[in-house]
């Protein structure tokens, strides 16, 4: 098949599909939502802030929006209770939990797993049989799973690696539902600014010099990778690195 026609066929796999994206109101999630909608999907985004979720849905013509605190199971169940069918579930919610193991509050560090592992399990269980057997689930990890550092990210690195391991197990346990993990590297999203604060610009400038491509990735590039994982029906149990080669340096 010609390369262009194959890309078009891949995109058409999302036509009239129902997509639900936790963490879909900004950054990578919103970029994925917009691109999935362009490919013909009906997209519902779920975020922690009602005003931002509503604005994202209305501004981009999405099918709907919900709010949920992913650290509270009942909030997750409530958010999806009235959704009757889902073809593709995307789980991108999570904050940048950073703190040294010997110094940070344990309850704070626990959020890295609550927001990722347990939130994902609750979302999948909340949907249950409403998740299409021909559909997919996409988790998020990060290049900390491959390259942890000494700057208070040990627990977050552990949670990221756990997401990848869980996806491989769930690809077998939930088959034929496809389960994959997106592993983004340095992507220019709002969470980066929140994590770095006033030191963002200096850190980014230094990072860009070290990266193979000498730049950060965009939310649109990472969002496109999410869409690929949904649309390519032979992607299963995989980790898709989108980091510009950052894990290599």
The whole-number pLDDT of residue 65 equals: 98
| CATH code of residue 29 | 3.40.50.720
**Domain count along the chain:** 1
Q: Does residue 82 carry a pLDDT above 70?
A: yes
The whole-number pLDDT of residue 12 equals: 81
**pTM of the shown model:** 0.92
Distance CA 201, CA 195 (A): 12
Mark 147-185 as b/e (b = at least 16 C-beta within 10 Å).
Answer: ebeeeebbbbbbbbbbbbebbbebbeeeeebbbbbbbbb
Report residue 239: phi and psi, to 5°.
-110, 120
Structure confidence at residue 9 as a pLDDT band (50, 70, 90):
low
Residue pair 143/243 in contact by the 8 Å Cβ criterion: yes
User: 196: exposed, middle or buried (C-beta count within 10 Å: 0-12, 13-18, 19+)?
Assistant: middle
Q: Is there a domain that residue 34 lies in?
A: yes
- Considering only 4-18, 60-74, 227-241, which range has the smallest mean pLDDT? 4-18
Residue 39, classed as helix, strand or coil, is coil
Mark 55-80 as b/e (b = at least 16 C-beta within 10 Å).
Answer: ebbeeeebeebbbbebbebebbeebb
Q: Is there a domain that residue 248 lies in?
A: no
Percent of the chain with pLDDT over 70: 92
Q: Does residue 199 carry a pLDDT above 80?
A: no
For 41-72, write each residue's pLDDT tens digit. 999 999 999 999 999 999 999 999 999 999 99
H or E element at residue 242: strand 239-242
The whole-number pLDDT of residue 122 equals: 98
Q: Is there a domain that residue 247 lies in?
A: no
Q: Does residue 79 carry a pLDDT above 60?
A: yes
Q: Is there a domain that residue 160 lies in?
A: yes
Q: Is there a domain that residue 40 lies in?
A: yes
Residue count (the chain): 249
Q: Is there a domain that residue 91 lies in?
A: yes
What integer best gives the mean pLDDT of the chain? 93
Domain that residue 76 falls in: 3-241
Q: Does residue 193 carry a pLDDT above 70?
A: no
Residue 135, classed as helix, strand or coil, is strand
Q: Is there a domain that residue 33 lies in?
A: yes
Centre a 10 Å sphere on the Cβ of residue 132 and count the other Cβ atoms it contains.
17
Structure confidence at residue 176 as a pLDDT band (50, 70, 90):
very high
* Tokens read off for 132: 């299409």
Residue 18, strand partner residues: 42
Structure confidence at residue 206 as a pLDDT band (50, 70, 90):
confident
Q: Is there a domain that residue 249 lies in?
A: no
């Amino acid at each position: 098949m010609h390369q262009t026609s194959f890309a078009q066929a891949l995109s058409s796999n999302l036509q009239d599909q129902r997509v639900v994206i936790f963490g879909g109101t900004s950054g990578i999630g919103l970029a994925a939502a917009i691109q999935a909608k362009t490919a013909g999907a009906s997209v519902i985004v779920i975020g922690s802030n009602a005003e931002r979720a509503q604005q994202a849905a209305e501004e981009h013509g999405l099918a709907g929006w919900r709010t949920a605190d992913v650290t509270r199971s009942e909030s997750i169940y409530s958010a999806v209770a009235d959704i009757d069918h889902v073809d593709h579930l995307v789980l991108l919610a999570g904050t940048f939990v950073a703190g040294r193991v010997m110094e940070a509050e344990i309850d704070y560090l626990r959020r890295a797993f609550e927001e990722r592992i347990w939130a994902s399990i609750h979302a999948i269980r909340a949907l249950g049989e409403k998740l299409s057997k021909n559909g997919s689930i996409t988790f998020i990890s990060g290049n900390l799973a491959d390259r942890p550092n000494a700057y208070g990210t040990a627990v977050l690195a552990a949670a990221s690696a756990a997401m990848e391991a869980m996806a491989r197990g769930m690809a077998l346990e939930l088959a034929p539902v496809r389960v994959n993990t997106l592993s983004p590297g340095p992507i220019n999203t709002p969470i980066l600014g929140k994590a770095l604060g006033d030191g963002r610009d200096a850190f980014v400038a230094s990072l860009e010099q070290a990266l193979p491509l000498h730049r950060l990735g965009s939310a649109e590039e990472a969002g496109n990778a999410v869409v690929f994982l949904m649309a390519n029906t032979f992607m299963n149990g995989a980790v898709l690195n989108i980091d510009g080669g950052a894990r290599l340096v």
